[in-house]
Structure 1
Amino acid sequence: MNVQSKVQSQDVVPRPGPVVDVEQAEAALVEHYPRLVRLAYLVLPPSLGRNRRVLTAHSLTQRALPRARTSADAAAVPAPRSAEGRNGDPGYGFVRLRVLRTALDAGRPLRRRAWPRRSQLPPLLPQVWGLRLFPRSGGADELALDQALSALSGPGRAAFVLRGLERLDDRAVRNMLEAAGAEDPDAALAEADGVAVPAGKDALALLESTEFDPCSLQARPPDLMRRRQHVKAVIAAAAATLVCGALLGLPGGGWAPEGAAAPAYAQNPAGLAALDPGRLTKVPATAWQTSARTDFSVWPARGSLTGDRPLLRRALAVWARPGGSVQVSATPGTQAGAPPGPPQLLYAGEVDQARIVLFYDGLRIVRYAEPKDGTSGAALDFARADGATGPEAGALVVDRADGNVRYLTAPWVRGAAVRNLLKPSAAPMPLDRAPDGVTAPFASPALARDCTSWNALALRDDAGTRLSTDLGELVPAHLTAGRPGAPREAVAADWQHSACSLTSVRSHGVRTVNSWAYARQQLPEGSGAADWACARADTWRGGGARTLALFTAPGGTTAAVAAKSEGTSACGSRDPLVLAGVLWKSRGGTWYVVAAASRQVTSIASSGGARATDNVLAARSRQGARTKLTGRTATGREVGALR
């Protein structure tokens, strides 16, 4: 009996593995550092955001070295069986296990009665100030896999990654997860089984793409305007503190009020009403179904925190009197003042690592954001939305983080997808939405520095599908196409060549952008046909519209900006006439001035003496020549070239 008990006890004790010293672990860490960081990045929770995941992955990997000689558990640390020199390396197996364990710990929630583990806290090192770092974007397959992994638990992601990236079998994965402290390895394996890899793709190829490589990074600045406003606000707050201190030293308790002015906003009855979360307008969930209106006034109050009175009170108070630490921004032409009365609540909930509140006061959309772990670093954004209806009231930006954007969609939206305007033939990528209407994140063109792709949000309702795109505002810009007097809903092909020109109207308070292909011109020397288009961006404030004339050379994929103007009526519903020209070099090396106008223009003349009796002109010129173009309509009206 005693002998049998002793034998059974020995059977369950893990067999000690080879001793791993610091030098051996360091050699494995240095040799396989990119792979270990990739493993940590994939296992870390996506809710951290791409920038913090990158820094945390590097921090966890660099802390994986043991402090002294240690023994790897042969039963718990299966020898790697993949290629690249890792076969049977106990140093690599030991370091990999430590990276996996700390990455799983980082995804566990904090407990009130327990001290947080080091991996659950933001990394002390490395730190990067003034930049946002994130891996290069991959394709649609990588994005779909990233969204699928984000829905798994930490052990589930670890099981999928160990299978796909490390090529471990289920038994080895189970041993790894048990050694790393996972509570239910079998459930994690079952979660990993549910991840569907796109047809024709291999999990290893997807996991080894640049989408998940935290060692090949892109650097982007943070919101520079907000940072500048933050510095100005701090200076203003310091000055106000000095003035208040001086007033407190005056006899009689300071200066008396001027006339009938209230000493503080909060003593104004209207101001008090606007600060009371109990007086917020909350539209019923089904009001839009019986209303003839399709605007923000019929949006219901959504989100998990619509009943959080302290949060709503803070948001209203910051709106009324933003403190010096609040980052305030407003689109051009938008007043950033206090609410005139109790506003309408559109949304209150947690998104990524922030608590977000969206209000509507009939004229403006106001977004308040604060971190989950406090109120330091709160942000307040204003955007005009007066008169928004239909497609213009179809979505609002809830959050931008790490190059991605999330939207809150209108209650009448039945489906959402992402279209790459530069690849109109590609199938739209379905966009998941939470029950409260918040979409999954996807790459925002407003935060991109290059134009290798341009994502547009495609929303489907009973009237059809409408396209809009993020141009740095709370309200995405509605995309249309066709003649200015009768624009139609755009399709991706309408913007294939001209989408990159939208970079010139970002953060400009744009309401709608219309693209109109107004001419097609046969170029000299049999070079083929060039396309002319104009893109007009109308703003929420009415004035300040920007108009671009775009020239696409034969065989070209991207239109060149031939001319642009601000505040003109050209290419708009009031004045659809447009004329523009460029210097163009033929294959034979000859320079030409080529120009095109809308069909109402019946003749074009250049300052060089060339003249055409229709709406297109091509005349020999020289490199760098400056040419003035003039067009005339059949009624004799003179039309100047867009500049």
Structure 2
Amino acid sequence: MQPQDVAQRPASPSPAGPVVDVEQAEAALVEHYPRLVRLAYLVLPPSTGRGRRVLTAHALTQRALPRGNRTPAPVIPTQSTGRDGDPGYALVRLQVLRTALEAGLPLTRKAWPRRAQLPPLLPQVWGLKLFPRSGGADELALDQRLSTLSGPARAAYALRGLERLEDDAVRKVLAAAGVADPDGALLEADGIPAQYGLLDSPEFDPCSLQARPTDLMRRRQQLKAALAAGAALLVCGALLGLPGGGWGPDGAAAPPYARNASAQAALDPAKLTRVSPAAWRSSARTDFSVWPARGDLTGDTALLRRALAVWARPGGTVQVSATPGTPSGGPAGPPQLLYAGTVDAARVVILYDGWRVARYAEPKDGTQGAVLDFARVDGAGRAESSAVVLGRSDGNVRYLTAPWVEKAGGRDLRKPGSGAMDLALTDGVTAPLASPVLRSGGCTSWHVLQLTDGTGKRLLTDLGELVPARLTSGRPGSPREVSGAEALRTWKPYACSLGTLRSAGVRSVNAWAFNKQRLPDASEAGWGSPRPEGGAGYAAWVCTRAETWRGGGARVLAQFHTPGGTHGAVAAKAENVPACGARHPHVLAGVLWKSGAGDWYLLAAGSRETASIRVKGGVSGSARGSLLTVPAERGVRAELKGTLRDGRSVGGLH
């Protein structure tokens, strides 16, 4: 933003407008606080970083109350339901806009900085980084486009899209806020597509925030330095108070912090571990530790240095993300280089420190907008270390595959009979594949990565994290790769349920078809005579269990699929339970179901080892075996209990 974009002396509100007292302005600010903070966040310069923008937006909004008891309001329509004709809202919105524009002005030696240009005193958050939740690819693209605009142009775009103001009203607001050239700001804003609906997304909501810790190692060093400085002051004061005062001949204060040799070595690109391309062939281990360094920039020392420095102490403008349970602190020693190269419009570096994979990415034309992602991979075997995500763009994802991968392909889980589409492999990097987590609209497809190596084929799916999740099928404790026709058919109705596992740190997801149940009134439902095991009158019960890299937090879904349906219905779900897992390969779930004749039933099913099932509460009944069908009323609530063949009890999954 150039200094001339905002007038040095903002115009005052029109004296012809109504007079607003401070109580009325405060009521408008409190009522519309989230919208005002969002407006400030959109107008503030993105170069300050998302965390700084959040705190500044809140500070500017909280300082928007007029100083006097009665202040003339600008005669500018608000054009929004609930705010139209509210002079208090128009006044505080103008003040928020004015200070947000001032905050973007560059500091100069010729003038004292304005209050809005200084870091806010309040609010402050210690020990945490706060930033809005990430949106999709469209929101990210819009944010990048807005960052290219001047402050007045961003303000014009926000007033159009967020406040729904016509261009004449926008000109009046900008002029009242001190913009020297409102027409130029509108013309500049015209260069951005009118995607106004995206402004209401969580990407631009500074009131709905994510929290991450600050640099823990740096914070610890600063605390030690503060303690050392305090101790030095105490010693200094004691010495000065002695007779003939002053320092002794050997007196010295501790340095602000001590240099750690291993930490310094971790920042040296020359000390990065590089593995031979053939090491995996003779190694007893088959995981990330035997990946060779690949990519066209493995010799770019400056890039590697930046990646290591950002990992050790990310700046305020770096967007850092980590899978749940993954610390984001710097490496303890020199990490291993897995990749350094150009991926679409970015330079990407992939590093591995023995239990985490870190991805650093920066634009090809600079370092502004750099990102740093972390994922736990401790205990990864051959299957889990088959690929990492290199980058996502335009709704697609690129992977870097393990050196033992011979062939890559993409397939749609929703179409098990369509076969796999070959993906070109270039130095281990796949061609773009549609990412299911970047899609918009309904779930009509779910594209996964199919990899082939010397042990067979396996499927991996992108869940929005650095390491894709492995898909398996079969009984817990002995799952199989999803490669055969039966396993692919099992996954078809439940593929879209993978969307609920996004950004949860998922390591693998297993789908277990634990039972099939004949539906009552099958003939009345129009399915004809039921046939056993997969006939038209039978519903399938499948349990999907997602294991995480951190061990705890497993997510379990019991799903019910009727004949002819395209999706499985979630009958029950739970977290941190052993059901459907290797330690407890049993499950019991129920669902209320309406037959084609209009009658309601409670249907329940357990794993094949279930000897009997009983239900009580809103409906009662029992059955021997692993299936239960009881007439019921719509909306009833009941409790399921089962008994296994060995006499143990099993409760219904909730």
Q: TM-score, normalised by structure 1?
A: 0.62
CA contact (8 A) 1:230 1:327 kept: no
Inter-CA distance 326–251: structure 2 relative to 1 (3 Å threshold): same
- Would you say 1:333 and 2:325 are equivalent positions? yes
Match of 1:611 in 2: 622
Inter-CA distance 301–128: structure 2 relative to 1 (3 Å threshold): farther
> Offset of 1:128 from its aligned partner?
6.3
Match of 2:636 in 1: 625
> Offset of 1:292 from its aligned partner?
2.7
Q: Secondary structure at the match of 2:646?
A: coil
Aligned counterparts of 1:363 and 1:261: Cα–Cα separation in 2: 35
Match of 2:647 in 1: 636
Match of 1:125 in 2: 191
Q: What per-residue deviation string (whole Å, max 9, x for no partner) do you get for residues 502-526 of structure 1?
A: 1111111110110000000001112
Deviates more, 1:282-291 or 1:413-422: 282-291
Aligned pairs for 1:508-519 (under 5 A) are 508-519=504-515
Runs of 4+ displaced beyond 3 Å: 49-57, 127-133, 219-225, 227-234, 250-257, 259-265
Q: What per-residue deviation string (whole Å, max 9, x for no partner) do you get for residues 310-343 of structure 1?
A: 1111110111111111111110011111101000
- Would you say 1:494 and 2:465 are equivalent positions? no
Q: Report the residue type matching 1:496 in the other structure.
A: K
Q: What per-residue deviation string (whole Å, max 9, x for no partner) do you get for residues 226-255 of structure 1?
A: x95699989x9xxx9xx99xx9xx999999
Q: TM-score, normalised by structure 2?
A: 0.61
Aligned counterparts of 1:521 and 1:579: Cα–Cα separation in 2: 13
Aligned counterparts of 1:596 and 1:432: Cα–Cα separation in 2: 44
Inter-CA distance 431–221: structure 2 relative to 1 (3 Å threshold): farther
2:590 pairs, out of 581, 585, 588, with 581
CA contact (8 A) 1:55 1:127 kept: no
Aligned counterparts of 1:369 and 1:260: Cα–Cα separation in 2: 41
Q: Secondary structure at the match of 1:504?
A: helix
Q: Secondary structure at the match of 1:524?
A: coil
- Would you say 1:291 and 2:283 are equivalent positions? yes
Q: Report the residue type matching 1:350 in the other structure.
A: T
Q: Report the residue type matching 2:429 in the other structure.
A: V
> Offset of 1:286 from its aligned partner?
1.4
CA contact (8 A) 1:579 1:641 kept: yes
2:273 pairs, out of 269, 278, 281, with 281
Inter-CA distance 509–255: structure 2 relative to 1 (3 Å threshold): farther
- Would you say 1:368 and 2:357 are equivalent positions? no
Q: Report the residue type matching 1:599 in the other structure.
A: R
Q: What per-residue deviation string (whole Å, max 9, x for no partner) do you get for residues 566-609 of structure 1?
A: 00000000000100000000111111100100011111111022
Aligned counterparts of 1:373 and 1:253: Cα–Cα separation in 2: 46
Aligned counterparts of 2:204 and 2:457: Cα–Cα separation in 1: 32
Inter-CA distance 223–539: structure 2 relative to 1 (3 Å threshold): farther
- Would you say 1:594 and 2:603 are equivalent positions? yes
CA contact (8 A) 1:534 1:548 kept: yes
Aligned pairs for 1:191-590 (under 5 A) are 228=209, 263-264=256-257, 267-434=259-426, 436-449=427-440, 450-491=442-483, 492-526=488-522, 527=525, 528-590=537-599
Aligned counterparts of 1:641 and 1:461: Cα–Cα separation in 2: 40
CA contact (8 A) 1:518 1:532 kept: yes
Q: Report the residue type matching 2:551 in the other structure.
A: G
Match of 2:69 in 1: none
Inter-CA distance 375–533: structure 2 relative to 1 (3 Å threshold): same
Aligned counterparts of 2:141 and 2:341: Cα–Cα separation in 1: 23
Aligned counterparts of 1:271 and 1:474: Cα–Cα separation in 2: 25
Q: What per-residue deviation string (whole Å, max 9, x for no partner) do you get for residues 605-631 of structure 1?
A: 110221111101111111111011111
Inter-CA distance 460–124: structure 2 relative to 1 (3 Å threshold): farther
> Offset of 1:633 from its aligned partner?
1.3
Q: What per-residue deviation string (whole Å, max 9, x for no partner) do you get for residues 173-227 of structure 1?
A: xxxxxxxxxxxxxxxxxxxxxxxxxxxxxxxxxxxxxxxxxxxxxx9876989x9
> Offset of 1:448 from its aligned partner?
2.8
Aligned counterparts of 2:289 and 2:234: Cα–Cα separation in 1: 43
CA contact (8 A) 1:597 1:615 kept: yes
Q: Report the residue type matching 1:576 in the other structure.
A: P
Inter-CA distance 233–482: structure 2 relative to 1 (3 Å threshold): same
Aligned counterparts of 2:271 and 2:196: Cα–Cα separation in 1: 40
Percent identity between matched residues is 54
CA contact (8 A) 1:130 1:222 kept: no
Aligned counterparts of 2:235 and 2:370: Cα–Cα separation in 1: 33
Match of 2:46 in 1: none
Aligned counterparts of 2:189 and 2:302: Cα–Cα separation in 1: 30
Aligned counterparts of 1:614 and 1:320: Cα–Cα separation in 2: 58
Aligned counterparts of 1:560 and 1:262: Cα–Cα separation in 2: 63
CA contact (8 A) 1:130 1:221 kept: no
Q: Secondary structure at the match of 2:273?
A: coil
Inter-CA distance 339–127: structure 2 relative to 1 (3 Å threshold): farther
CA contact (8 A) 2:313 2:330 kept: yes
Q: What per-residue deviation string (whole Å, max 9, x for no partner) do you get for residues 88-136 of structure 1?
A: xxxxxxxxxxxxxxxxxxxxxxxxxxxxxxxxxx998125689889xxx
Inter-CA distance 452–254: structure 2 relative to 1 (3 Å threshold): farther
Aligned pairs for 1:103-122 (under 5 A) are none
> Offset of 1:51 from its aligned partner?
9.1
Q: Report the residue type matching 2:505 in the other structure.
A: G
Inter-CA distance 470–53: structure 2 relative to 1 (3 Å threshold): closer
> Offset of 1:440 from its aligned partner?
1.4
CA contact (8 A) 2:232 2:254 kept: no
Aligned counterparts of 2:291 and 2:400: Cα–Cα separation in 1: 11
> Offset of 1:55 from its aligned partner?
12
Q: Report the residue type matching 1:125 in the other structure.
A: G
Inter-CA distance 253–634: structure 2 relative to 1 (3 Å threshold): closer
- Structure 2 gaps of 5+ residues are 1-136, 146-187, 237-251, 526-536
Q: Report the residue type matching 2:561 in the other structure.
A: T
> Offset of 1:432 from its aligned partner?
1.5
Inter-CA distance 224–397: structure 2 relative to 1 (3 Å threshold): farther
Q: Report the residue type matching 1:480 in the other structure.
A: T
Q: What per-residue deviation string (whole Å, max 9, x for no partner) do you get for residues 424-456 of structure 1?
A: 00021111122x211111211122343110011
Aligned pairs for 1:65-76 (under 5 A) are none
Q: Secondary structure at the match of 1:503?
A: helix
Q: What per-residue deviation string (whole Å, max 9, x for no partner) do you get for residues 387-418 of structure 1?
A: 11111110000101232111001111111000
Q: Report the residue type matching 1:442 in the other structure.
A: L
